[in-house]
Every structure is written in C-alpha cells, then in structure tokens.
Structure 1
Amino acid sequence: MDGTRQKFGLHDSVGHHISRTARIVERRVEGNLRRFGMTRVEWCVLVAVAEEGKKNPSDIADFVGIDRTATSRALRQLEASGLIERKMGRDDRRTTEVGLTAKGTAQFNAALPMCHAATQHFHAKLSIDELDVLRALLAKLAADELP
C-alpha cells in the first residue's frame, strides 16, 4: 500500500447508521413478536393482508418491500401456523388469493398493541417535524432503487 488510500470512515456512512438503526428497531419488534410465534416479515405480511387488503402474493411482496422468495417463505410459515389461507383466484384460477383465518385475525389483533408500542418507543424520540423530515429523507435515499 502506498499510504494514500482514502479512509472509509464507517461511522460517517449513512448506510451504516441506517442499517444499525434498522437492526435496533427490528430487535425490539421481533423480540415482542416472538410471543406471538411470528417474525417481523410475517407481521408485515399480516399487515398487508389485514389492513391493506392485499390478496395477491406479488402485491404483498411489493407492499412489504421484499422479494417473492421471502414472501413465499413467509406465506408458507403463516399458513402452517394457521394464520392465513391461500385459495385459487376467483377470476383467474392461475392466481392465488391470500386471506386471514379467524386465528390469524385474532393473532393480528393481539399483536397490534405491542407493535404500536414498539413504533411509539422510537417515534417518541423525535418531534413530529423530525419524523416528517426523516421519512422524506429515507424516501429520497430509496427512490429509484430496487426493493
């Protein structure tokens, strides 16, 4: 080495701070979701189905921001746990429609207050204006990138 290489500066990297913060948030949420026998990704899939009415696996993947393989894995686990059911599409039998079971609805409703509390824990650290700016900046960084 010639001694002229530029130092990377890990703690100056926006990506490092985003990744570190995401892991902290995920640990809090996933720690609480374990009580309900689900992961954060499975929770996000339930949110897509329960709150957003997403029925198609591709739409669920797009909403959650994960690839089809991760979506299929989460759907298989949720189905094995009895939280969702998959049926052939009504209009196109080549498609799959996802829906919550009664158990899935109950599990979702039971976990909802804990997920609200976990989100509130982090939101309370920032003012409303800071949250708005943070969301806008993160959206700007993610714009035009692959999911």
Structure 2
Amino acid sequence: MTASRLPINPGICNNTALRKAARRLTRFYDACMADTGLRATQYTILSLLANRGPTTMAALADLLSMDRATMGHNLRPLERDGLVIIQVGREDRREREVALSTAGANIEAQSKPYWLKAQASFEKEFGKQDALAMRRMMARITQLELDAEQANS
C-alpha cells in the first residue's frame, strides 16, 4: 500500500487535519504552477488583485485571513519582481494600496491556465461536489468568531 493510499485516519485534532490538508494541496498547486515561476500563494494574490482591482494591504490581508505582517512578507517578492505596486493610500496616507503592475497582470493571465488545470485535476480526483462542499466548509470556518480567552476559561 502506497503512502497516498493508506487507510484514512482523521485523527482528533481539527487544526492538524486542516494544516496537513492545506500543506498537501499547496504542494500540489505549487507543482502545477511551477512553470509560471509563481507559487500558489503568489498567484492567489495576483488573481485577487486582477479581479478586485487595487486594494489596501489590510483589506487584502483580511480577504486571505492573514495578518498584515504576513501579507507584507508575501507582497515583498511580488513588489521586488515588479508584479505589484505598493503605494501610500489615496484616502488614508497610513494605509498602503496594492495594485497589479502591467507585468503582474500579464503573469496572472499567463498563469491562469495552470491554476485552472490544478483546479480541474483536484476536482477530478476529489470530486466536484466534494470540492464545492469543502470550499463552503472552509468559508464557514473563516467566519467563525473563535475566542481563545473564552476557550481557555
């Protein structure tokens, strides 16, 4: 029996189960995106910007359920490579607005078929309905009002 076909043991830790699945899926998407020069996380940011237009770093972090420091860490290589432009916010100078550069829009468009292929391949293996159910479940999790202080009391 190969490692990928071992009997399913969901374990008892929700966090571990989610992180294991996320790491495995991220490795798969990264491999599918390898020819583009982008990691899946980078493509996600470029795709969001392509679809939503310029947005603040804080709003982008919120959309991806990241803290601002992590978002900044993820944006630096994209800015360095000329794929995004980060500038002082138009309405609030304390904010940073992130926009796709022309090069960023081009690489996002060129990379989309690789992402679509990864999506289709995953859905073929996992099941289209199961994939939709999983995304709905993950969206619900991101909306939970989890409170560590309350959990510890």
TM-score, normalised to structure 2's length? 0.75
Partner of 1:12: 11
Give the superposition deviation at 1:44. 1.8
Instruction: Give the unaligned 5+ runs of structure 1.
Output: 1-9
Mapping of 1:1-147 within 5 angstroms? Answer: 11-13=10-12, 14-142=14-142, 143-145=144-146
Instruction: Give the unaligned 5+ runs of structure 2.
Output: 1-8, 148-153
- Aligned CA distance change for structure 1 residues 129 and 23 (closer, same or farther; 3 Å): same
TM-score, normalised to structure 1's length? 0.78
Is the 8 Å Cα contact of residues 48 and 64 (structure 1) preserved in structure 2?
no
Give the superposition deviation at 1:119. 1.3
- Aligned CA distance change for structure 1 residues 30 and 129 (closer, same or farther; 3 Å): closer
Give the superposition deviation at 1:35. 2.7
CA RMSD of aligned residues (A): 2.3
Give the superposition deviation at 1:140. 4.1
Number of aligned residue pairs: give it: 137
Q: Which amino acid aligns with 2:19?
A: S
Identity fraction in percent: 23
